[in-house]
Structure 1
Amino acid sequence: MPVHPVKAAFVRVAEGLRRDQFFLVLLGALFLFSVFGPDRIARYPSLVDWPTLAAMTGLLLLTKGLELSGALHRLGRTLIEWMRTERAAALCLVLVAAMLSTVLTNDVALFVVVPLTLSISKLTGMPSTKLIVFEALAVNVGSTLTPIGNPQNIFLWQMSRMSFGDFVWHQLPLVAAMLAALLLLTAFAFGTRSFEIQDHEARPLDRPLLAVSLLLYVPFLIATDLHLAGWAALALLLMFAISRPRVLADLDWGLLLVFALMFVDLRLLAGLDVVKQLMLGLGLQDPAHLYLAGIGTSQLLSNVPAAIALAEFSKDWGVLLYGVNVGGFGWMVGSLANLIALRMSGDRRAWIIFHLYAVPALLAAAAMGYVLLFLR
C-alpha cells in the first residue's frame, strides 16, 4: 500500500533531524534554557525572527520549484560542456556564488547555486560537499561588498547613513583581498581531473513550473523588501499546494525548524547577564578591540545578532562592518549562510570539511582586515 505523501515527507524530515547533530545541540540547549529559566518559555515564539523565516520559506519554495522543473539539471549539463575539469568547474561556481551574493544576498545566492552544484555532481560524479563548502565561503566574501549583500550590512548601512557608493568603496579593499585568496585556495584545492557526463538520461523539462518559479522570484523579493514576506510566503504555499504539491513535500522543512531554534537559543544566550557584562568589559571604545569583538561575538551568536548587539556599544561603523563580516568565517554559526549551505549539502560530514577550510579562512581574513584597518 503506497505511503501518503504528507506522511512520507514527515517521516523523511523526522529521520533527517534525528541524524542532524547541530539540530540536536540546539534542542539540548533549548532544554537547558527551559529548565533553568522556565519563566522565559512563553517568550520563545517572540524570539523567532518570523519575517526572516518567512523569506527563507518563500526562497526555498521557489528554488525547489526550479530544481524539480529540471532546469538546473539542464543548466548543469550545459556548464559541463564548457568546463572540462574539476578546477574549472569549482572556480566558475565559486565566482558565480560570490557575484550573485553582492546583489541577491548570501542566502539567496546559495539557494540558487547549491542545487545547481548538486545537479552537476549527479551528472559527473564530482564530489559536491567540498564545492558547496567553498561556495559558502564565496557568498560570505561577495556579500561583504554591498549594503544589500547580507542582513548585517543592511542593518549597519541603515544605522550609519553611508551612501551606497561610500559603503562599497569602504568594503572593496577587504573583499578584493579575500576574493583573491579564495580563488587561489580554490585552484589549489581542486585538481585538473577531467570529467564526463555520467547521467546520459535527458530529463523532461516542466516548463510551467519553471516559468512560475522564475517569474515569482523578483515579486517575492520586492514583497520581502516591503516587509510583506509572511503574506508572500503564504501565497506561495497555497499556490504550490494546489498546483504542485510535490514542491511542498520535497521542501527541507527541517532547515526551517533548525533556524527557528537557532533564533531562540542565540537570543536567549545574548540576554544572559554574564554575556552582557562580558560585552561591557571588552573596551569597545578601542577600534582594535571592537574589530576583534565583532569577529569573536560572531563566532558565538552569528554575525547578524553580533552586529545588532555591538551597535549598542559603538558607532564606529567602518570597524564594525569589517569585524562582523570577517566573523562570518570560522565556526559554522558565524553566518546563517554557512548553516544553509551545510544543511543543503545533505552530507553529515559536511560540517567537518567546512571547518577544515573555514577556520584557516577566518584567520587569514582577520589578518587582512586588521592590516587594512590599522596598518596601511
Structure 2
Amino acid sequence: MRDEWLLLLFAAFAGALALLDPRPIADYRRWLQWPTLTGLAGLLLAIQGIRDSGLVQRAAAAAMARAHSLRGLGLGLVAATAVLSMVLTNDVSLFLVVPLTLAIGTMSNLPVLRMVVLEALAVNAGSALSPIGNPQNLLLWQHSALGFAQFVAAMLPAAAVMLAMVALLTVLWLPRGRVALTSERLEHATISLRLGIGSTLALVGMVVAMEYGLAPLGAAVLLAVFALGARPSLRRVDGLLLLTFAAIFVGLGHFAELPWVRGILQSTDFSQPLTVYLGAIVASQAISNVPATVLLLDHAPDAVALAVAVNVGGFGLVIGSLANLIALRLARQPHGLRLLHAVSIPFLLLAAPLVYLAWRWLG
C-alpha cells in the first residue's frame, strides 16, 4: 500500500472531515458521484480487455511503421490524444492512447513517461474546445444556454493557445532521433480477436451509456459479461484506482461544502472576469476543476469565463484535473508525479496569462 499514498491521503482527509463536520448519509452518496465512478469502472473493464487482447500492440506496430522520427511519432500521439478528447472526453482519450503509448515504448526507444505527461497536457488542452470534451464543459455548456458552435467559438482562442503550447513543448522536449524498433518483442505479441472485438464494442457501449446517463447499468452489464467470458481481464482491473477516486470525490465534495468555504464565496465579487478567472484557477488547484466548477457555478455570472478558467486550472498540480491522475495511473512509471509537476506547474504559470489575454482580446 506504500504506492497508494494518494488513496491513503484522501481517505484520511475524508475521514477527518466526517469526524469534524458530520453530515447525513445522503450527502456522502451525492459526493461519491456514483454515475462517474461506475462509468470509470466500465471504462477500466473495457480497456483492460483491449490491452489483454494484443490489439494495442498491433496498433502500436502499425503506428511505428509509419513514423520516421521520435518527434514525428510524439506529435502524432499528442494530436490524436487532443482530437479524441474533443469527441470522446478527456478520460476516454487517455484510456485509449496511454496503453498504446506504453505498447510503443516496449517496442521502441520512445520516452514513455515524457509522452504520458504530454498526453495529459494534450487532453486538458484539446477537451477545452468542445462542449462535450470534459465534465466541466458539459455542465457549463448546459448552464450557459449557448449553442454548440457558439460555445466552441467562445473557447477557441483559449484552446488554440493551450494546444499551440503543447505542440511546441512536444517539439522541444522530445529527442530528435529516429525511432529504433525492438522487433523481437513485436514478433511474440499474441492476438485474441474475440476479446479485442468484444472489448472494443464494450468500450463503445460504455461511452454511449455514459452519454445517456446509464453508466451504472452499463458497468453492471460489462461486469457480468467479463465475469462470464473474460475473468483474467476482470482480475487485472485496477480496483485501487476506483477506491482512490471514491476517496477524492467524497473528500473534495465535503470540503467544498464546509461553511467557511461557502462564506468566502459569498463574500467575493465574481462580477469581474479577472476575479472569476483567478478564483477558478486557484480553486481547481485545491479541489480539482470539476468540483471547482460546481462550487462556482451559481456565483459566476459569466459561464464562458468560468469555462476558460477551470480548463486552464487543469494544468499545474496533479489534482487540478482528474485526467492527470488517470494518465499517471495508467502509465505506472517511476517518478511520474515528479515529472508531471516539473512540467505542468510552469506550463500553468505561462498559460494562465497568455490564455487570459487571448480570450479577452479575441473572444
TM over 0.5: yes
The structural deviation recorded for 1:274 is 1.7
Residue from 105, 110, 117 that aligns with 2:101? 117
Any conservation in 2 of the 1:282–1:293 contact (CA below 8 Å)?
no
Equivalent in the alignment of 1:280: 266
2:53 corresponds to 1:69 = yes
The structural deviation recorded for 1:365 is 1.9
Equivalent in the alignment of 1:4: none
2:13 corresponds to 1:22 = no
Q: Secondary structure at the residue paired with 1:328?
A: coil
The structural deviation recorded for 1:200 is 4.0
Equivalent in the alignment of 2:297: 311
Any conservation in 1 of the 2:161–2:355 contact (CA below 8 Å)?
no
Quick one: structure 1 residues 160 and 200, their matched pair in 2 at CA, closer, same or farther if it must change by over 3 Å? closer
Farther off after superposition, 351-360 or 36-45? 36-45
Quick one: structure 1 residues 158 and 96, their matched pair in 2 at CA, closer, same or farther if it must change by over 3 Å? same
Any conservation in 1 of the 2:161–2:358 contact (CA below 8 Å)?
no
Equivalent in the alignment of 1:7: none
Equivalent in the alignment of 1:178: 162
Deviations 1:164-222 (A, max 9, x none): 00011111111112111111111100011223222243322101111111223333222
Equivalent in the alignment of 2:345: 359
Counterparts of 2:62 and 2:78, CA distance in 1: 17
2:51 corresponds to 1:51 = no
Equivalent in the alignment of 2:180: 196
Counterparts of 1:316 and 1:51, CA distance in 2: 27
Equivalent in the alignment of 1:146: 130
Counterparts of 1:351 and 1:133, CA distance in 2: 9
Residue from 140, 156, 161 that aligns with 1:156? 140
Q: Secondary structure at the residue paired with 1:101?
A: helix
Residue from 145, 148, 153 that aligns with 1:169? 153
Counterparts of 1:40 and 1:338, CA distance in 2: 31
Counterparts of 1:72 and 1:221, CA distance in 2: 19
Unaligned stretches of 5+ residues in structure 1: 1-16
Equivalent in the alignment of 1:267: 253
Counterparts of 1:165 and 1:24, CA distance in 2: 43
Deviations 1:66-93 (A, max 9, x none): 1111001011111111113222221111
Equivalent in the alignment of 1:343: 329
2:120 corresponds to 1:136 = yes
Quick one: structure 1 residues 249 and 309, their matched pair in 2 at CA, closer, same or farther if it must change by over 3 Å? same
Quick one: structure 1 residues 155 and 43, their matched pair in 2 at CA, closer, same or farther if it must change by over 3 Å? closer
Q: Secondary structure at the residue paired with 1:223?
A: helix
Residue from 68, 77, 80 that aligns with 1:93? 77
Counterparts of 1:292 and 1:319, CA distance in 2: 10
Q: Secondary structure at the residue paired with 1:353?
A: helix
Residue from 242, 247, 254 that aligns with 2:233? 247
Equivalent in the alignment of 1:217: 203
Quick one: structure 1 residues 234 and 116, their matched pair in 2 at CA, closer, same or farther if it must change by over 3 Å? same
Counterparts of 1:249 and 1:306, CA distance in 2: 34
Counterparts of 1:321 and 1:48, CA distance in 2: 23
Root-mean-square deviation (Å): 1.6
* Residue type of the alignment partner of 1:240: F
* Residue type of the alignment partner of 1:33: L
Farther off after superposition, 223-232 or 259-268? 223-232
The structural deviation recorded for 1:291 is 1.0
Farther off after superposition, 37-46 or 104-113? 37-46
Counterparts of 2:61 and 2:85, CA distance in 1: 23
Deviations 1:76-115 (A, max 9, x none): 1111111132222211111110010000000000000000
Name which structure has the greater RCO, CA cutoff 8 Å, separation 6+: 2
* Residue type of the alignment partner of 2:110: M
- Of all paired residues, the percent bearing the same amino acid is 38
2:333 corresponds to 1:370 = no
Any conservation in 2 of the 1:87–1:192 contact (CA below 8 Å)?
yes
Counterparts of 2:28 and 2:62, CA distance in 1: 47
Any conservation in 1 of the 2:47–2:203 contact (CA below 8 Å)?
no
Equivalent in the alignment of 2:307: 321
* Residue type of the alignment partner of 2:271: Q
Q: Secondary structure at the residue paired with 1:18?
A: coil
Any conservation in 1 of the 2:11–2:247 contact (CA below 8 Å)?
yes
2:284 corresponds to 1:298 = yes
The structural deviation recorded for 1:40 is 5.7
Farther off after superposition, 260-269 or 202-211? 202-211
TM-score for the superposition, normalised by structure 1: 0.92
Farther off after superposition, 190-199 or 313-322? 190-199
Any conservation in 2 of the 1:34–1:41 contact (CA below 8 Å)?
no
Q: Secondary structure at the residue paired with 2:270?
A: coil
Unaligned stretches of 5+ residues in structure 2: none
